[in-house]
Structure 1
Amino acid sequence: MINPAAFQLDQLGWRRKVFGLLLLCLVSSTASVTYAAEKKKVISQQTYKVLMAAQESLDKGESARAIAMLKKLQAALDKKAYEQAIVLQTISHAYISQDDYTAAIPPLKRSLDLAAMPEEPQQRMHYNLIKLHMATEGFIEVIALLQSWFAMVEQPQAEPHVMLATAYLQLGRYKEAVEPLREAIKISKEPKESWYQSLLGAYSELKHYDHCITLLHTMLKLYPDRPNYWRQLVGIQLAESKFRDALATMELAYLRGYVETEQEILSLAQLYLHLNAPYKAAVLLENEIRHSRLAKTEKNWEHAANAWLLARETGKAVAALEKAKAKLRNPQLGLRLAQLYMASQRWVEAGKTLDTILKAGKLNATGTGQAWILLGIAQHEAKSLPEARAAFEQAKKHRKTADSAEQWLAFLDQT
């Protein structure tokens, strides 16, 4: 969102040096001034003297004294609308010098309401009043004043459109904020990044996710080095079930080094798996574990093993599970590793793995029975028949593997 504070004092354009120049424009050596306007506008010598005295007080930091002098002068200018308008503007400026923007609003509004200034100064005063309301978070007033200001100006610049959008955003009127933001971006030669961010925020609040995606593509062309924009685009694409688009975005972000966290890396691997690219998932996981961007935990090695299995790379799946087993000796992982050894007809390794698991005693009853059955089969295939029989006898003690164990024992009796 755009910070309304961005439109505070720096953008008000009223500084003491500027004020001094303003006075020089307002008066001549004969204490009168002519604007390039339809009617001649003059101020008296007395008014000029008080204005200059007030400016001197402001330069000394005596703003309260300046305000008192100006208010006294303004009260004496009952029917001199033009001079009143000048004095009221100066009072407003004095309050601004105190950073009291709230107090600066009424005198500037009164000056504007007098309608005593030529067209261009009147428009500038109108616009400065808008900025003061923005600085004091008077967003409803900002909207009303800007709408009337737009009616007066033929080709407004981008800033007033942004101010209007900011007011709408601050009031939660997201739909109304969209068009002025789009217009500001359109007419500006160098739109600010914050304008795009605000438009993205409005679209998001409105749940216009297709617009979010289109805008984020534009933002990434302009600001490709913003990791958060890549993440936002992926997040919206995933939420909209645009999985292939999300994968393409994530791959580009990965190449740029913006897929950094463990969760992001795992999400990329999951996307590969979801889109039937297990080999890419496995290569990614192994590479990230090897470079320590993924922790060398048994869970991550298991993720890699699963991906290798789906890619029909049994040998690499075995290698991954061996590393997982070596870390924490999880019995379930060990059991799975033994099954992979057996699928590869590596009976001795399977037997050793199963023996280690059973001695650790960490399997539940069902897992223990299954491990004894597998050990019996591995020993049988390794031609270690006494050891096979002993394993099947143990498996027979477990309810869920008892029938299978009986069948194997009967088979051994016949051989």
Structure 2
Amino acid sequence: MAFAAPVAVHAQDSGSDRNERSTRADRSARSSDRSDRRSSRQAQAETAPRYPNATREAPGISASQRLAKQLNTLSEANNEQDAAKGLPIADEILANERANEYDKSIAALLAGQLLLNDDNTRAIAYLQQAIDLGGLDNDNHFQAMLIIAQLQAQEQNYDAALVTLDRYLAESGSTDPKDQALKGNMLYRLERYPEAIAVLKPLVESGGEVDPQWTQLLMGAYAESGNTAEATRMAEQVAQATPDDKRSQINLAVSYLQTDQNDKAIEVFERLRSSGQLTEESEYRNLYALYLNSDNKEREAIAVINDGLEKNVLQADYRTMSALGQAYYFSDQIAPAIDAWQKAAPLAENGETYLNLARVLHQEGRSAEAKEAARQAIAKGLKSNTDAERIISSR
């Protein structure tokens, strides 16, 4: 968040020796004409208006001489981020009947800056006051408007943020892609996906420098609007262009999941795992869940879970050990299935896992262990104790 820097206010010089200045200027001109021209071009570039297409005519008002000292003190407080010092001065200027529109506008602007991210509600109020007073140059006027939109979005007040941003875009004539991307983001947050696509698509397809977040938003908008095929096409394009970028590969896997292309999602996850890029617990869980939901892929799920445990990416918690037990059991590896469920059962919220363990132990002829597991199941709580009691009473 940035504003054009307010210029410190100084009293104008009441008089000067024109002849002396002219003599000095002549000598300087003869020795540095080329440098002056370069400096002039540079100064023009540096002072070029940020909003050349603005519909608003800048008021051209300058600070009052009578308030120069207060405004400079306020500017110093702003530079030092000293709200305790600056806010009372700003309020004094705003209440001063002799202050002109610029004095009050710049005071409100600086007060808003002092409160940014500390008290955004008050910051917005001051910034809005600076805009309404109408005394600022266009750069500061429209930057204040943009900051209000950003703060409203930060507070998740997207409806108000979009109203403010639309006004900013219409009156400033801004052609900055970042401003359009901000609008696309707000439309996405408001679940106005077709409108978000209409704003974001030209940015992503412009051929210029594209922020990866814009692409993510556009893919998300396509997916949320039901156009998962286009979202997947974009994800494939990005992933192909950036094969070493983990984020783009994960996004591709997610796109495949959303379009029920589980085999392709598995391929992406496995490429990342083989290259050591699968480093998050959620990524391992997604991969082993994909295997468990596929036909005859239990052994692959076991390999993924054990790999995650060995690398300490997965923790030996209930969720992991329960899934491991399931994978072992349905691949006819009963002994390791029992071992996994024995670790999972004490961590479960109820006794259902103990009951499943008791059933398997009973089937394997391990009667004493089965009965103990059944007792633990009842102690932890079951929907029905019938099966557990039957195992306990069996001979």
TM-score interval, normalised by the smaller of the two chains: 0.5 to 0.7
CA apart distance, 1:209: 1.3
Q: Is 1:99 matched with 2:118?
A: yes
Gap change, CA 1:222 and 1:49, over 3 Å in 2: farther
- The number of aligned residues is 284
How has the CA–CA distance of structure 1 residues 42 and 289 changed in structure 2, closer, same or farther, with 3 Å as cutoff? closer
Q: Name structure 1 gaps, 5 residues minimum.
A: 1-11, 275-280, 304-320, 330-360, 364-415
Q: Partner residue of 2:7?
A: 23
Is 1:74 aligned to 2:94, yes or no? Answer: yes
Find the structure with the greater CA-based Rg: 1
Counterpart position of 1:202: 221
Q: Is the 8 A contact 1:157 1:188 kept in 2?
A: no
Structure 2 CA distance, aligned partners of 1:172 and 1:50? 47
1:85 maps to what in 2?
A: 105
Give the counterpart letter for 2:129 in structure 1: R
1:63 and 2:83 aligned: yes
Deviation at 1:251, TM superposition (A): 6.5
Q: Does 1:264 align with 2:287?
A: yes
Q: Could you state the TM-score of these two structures normalised by the residue count of structure 1?
A: 0.52
Of Structure 1 and Structure 2, the greater helix share is in 1
Look up the equivalent residue of 2:134 and give its one-letter code: A
When residues 147 and 254 of structure 1 are mapped into structure 2, their CA distance, relative to the original with a 3 A threshold, is same
Match of 1:185 in 2: 204
2: CA distance, partners of 1:153 / 1:63: 29
Contact 2:246 2:277 survives alignment (8 Å): yes
Mapped to 1, the partners of 2:79 and 2:137 lie a distance apart of 28
2:114 & 2:269 partners in 1: Cα distance? 55
SS of residue paired to 1:23 = coil
After superposition, what is the alpha-carbon deviation per residue over 1:303-326, rounded to whole angstroms, capped at 9, x for unaligned? 5xxxxxxxxxxxxxxxxx9xx599
1:138 aligns with 2:157: yes
CA distance in 2, matches of 1:290, 1:90: 57
Q: What is the TM-score of this pair, normalised by structure 2? A: 0.54
Q: Is 1:116 paired with 2:135?
A: yes
**1:267 CA displacement:** 4.6
Q: Equivalences for 1:215-234 in 2 at 5 Å?
A: 215-225=234-244, 230=249, 233-234=252-253
Q: 1:160 aligns with which of 164, 168, 179?
A: 179
Q: CA deviation at 1:194?
A: 3.1
Q: Measure, in 2, the Cα distance between the counterparts of 1:228 and 1:191.
A: 16
Unaligned runs of 5+ in 2: 15-47, 50-56, 310-323, 339-362, 366-395
Whole-Å separation in 1 of the counterparts to 2:121 and 2:207? 31
When the two chains are superposed, the root-mean-square deviation of aligned CA atoms in Å is 4.7
Distance 2:254 2:213 in 1: 20
Shift of 1:104: 1.8
CA–CA distance in 1 between the matches of 2:256 and 2:292?
16
- Rounded Cα–Cα distance in structure 2 between residues aligned with 1:290 and 1:212: 28
- The 5-angstrom pairing of residues 9-408 of structure 1 reads 12-14=1-3, 19=5, 22-24=6-8, 27=10, 29-30=12-13, 40-58=60-78, 62-77=82-97, 80-96=100-116, 99-154=118-173, 156-187=175-206, 189-225=208-244, 230=249, 233-234=252-253, 236-237=255-256, 240-242=259-261, 249=268, 252=271, 256=275, 261=284, 264=287, 267=290, 293=307, 303=331
How many Å separate the matches in 2 of 1:213 and 1:221? 12
- C-alpha change, 1:64 and 1:292, in structure 2 (3 Å) is closer
Residues in 1 aligned to 2:305 and 2:163: alpha-carbon distance in whole angstroms: 59
